[in-house]
Amino acid sequence: MKALVFERFGGPEVLSYQDIPEPTLASNEVLVRMKAVGLNFADVYRRKGNYHLSGNPPYILGYEGAGIVEKVGEDVKGVNIGDRIAFADVPYANAELVAVPHDKVIPVPEAISFETAASLLLQGLTAHYLTKDSYSIKDGDHALVHAASGGVGQLLVQIIKSLGGHVIGLTSTKEKAEVAKAIGADHVFLYDEDWAAKVKEVYPAGVDVAYESIGSTLSGSFQATRTGGTVVFFGMAGGDPEPVDPRMLMDTSKTLTGGDLWNVLTSHEERVERSAELFQWITDGSITLSEPTTFHLSEGRKAHEYLESRKSTGKILLLP
């Protein structure tokens, strides 16, 4: 089978498209013919050697995708050859064939395309737990969403709006601000403005919750949050945050909580139930996805270069 592999850490140039042996199927796994694979910054970090990789080269990136079941392990029940499935956290996805453990299998309804499933799951499941678990959005809540034009950010904006909340988005450019407005953000400010002050102009008491994914902006998120409000810290795309003074939390009754998807997806049932709700939101129009940018799997270098350019506002997919 063909796969996108690399044997040393580095830039996109280390990636190559070549023949490798098909995966050996364990009794609790299904073999999936991939139709679409999601590309994420985690793939870049692994390619550079910033994230740990087990095993020996050639390494295969990719953790998210969708396809059709070709073989079923002898101990697998409830999955059949020809089933449409997806996954959010199975390694070696940058290949034509992937061995997927049964407990990671997520059924894909006929109404959902493989491209949509591969675009939605990792970022969608993240936005799902952030709005359901880290801070449960209620009707009338005011929320601040960092990187509102990004993959998770766009989904957060739409989910919060569908749950009856109001959204202030933050973006780095006017063009990205238009993207956030187009999907429903009530107000959008730029990072080169005094955005914490502008939030207070709109909501003088401050927002109920700030979804913080930049890291270096954490202190501003606290400034923009009301007394008794919550800051959800789930990423640091802009660098490490400054230390948080517990006295400030006490004096303002504010809450700082962390979020990590893998502390939520602890069972097969969690994956299936949460994904089913996301698919339903797509079907009924509560959330929409921008058109993905697609590359053939053989164009992996170009796809990585495009992702690192930060020019994209939607999902990047690799199509085997």
pLDDT digits (tens, 9 = 90+) for 117-130: 999 999 999 999 99
Question: How remote is the C-alpha of 124 from its chain's centroid?
Answer: 6
Model pTM?
A: 0.93
Please check whether residue 109 is in contact with residue 279, taking contact to mean a CB–CB distance below 8 angstroms: yes
pLDDT digits (tens, 9 = 90+) for 155-178: 999 999 999 999 999 999 999 999
* Single-letter code of the amino acid located at 252: T
CA distances (Å), origin 96, targets 92, 106, 297: 10, 18, 9
pLDDT digits (tens, 9 = 90+) for 81-101: 999 999 999 999 999 999 999
CATH of the domain at 189: 3.40.50.720
Long-range contact pairs involving 237-246 (C-beta distance under 8 Å, separation at least 24): 237/41, 237/147, 237/213, 238/214, 239/214, 239/215, 240/215, 240/216, 241/212, 241/215, 241/216, 241/217, 242/216, 242/218, 244/218
Does 163 map to a domain? Answer: yes
CATH of the domain at 298: 3.90.180.10
Domain residues for the domain of 225 are 139-258
Please check whether residue 226 is in contact with residue 208, taking contact to mean a CB–CB distance below 8 angstroms: yes
**What does DSSP say about strands 16-19 and 2-6: parallel, antiparallel, or unpaired?**
antiparallel
Does 132 map to a domain? Answer: no
Domain boundary at 258, 284, 303, which?
Answer: 258
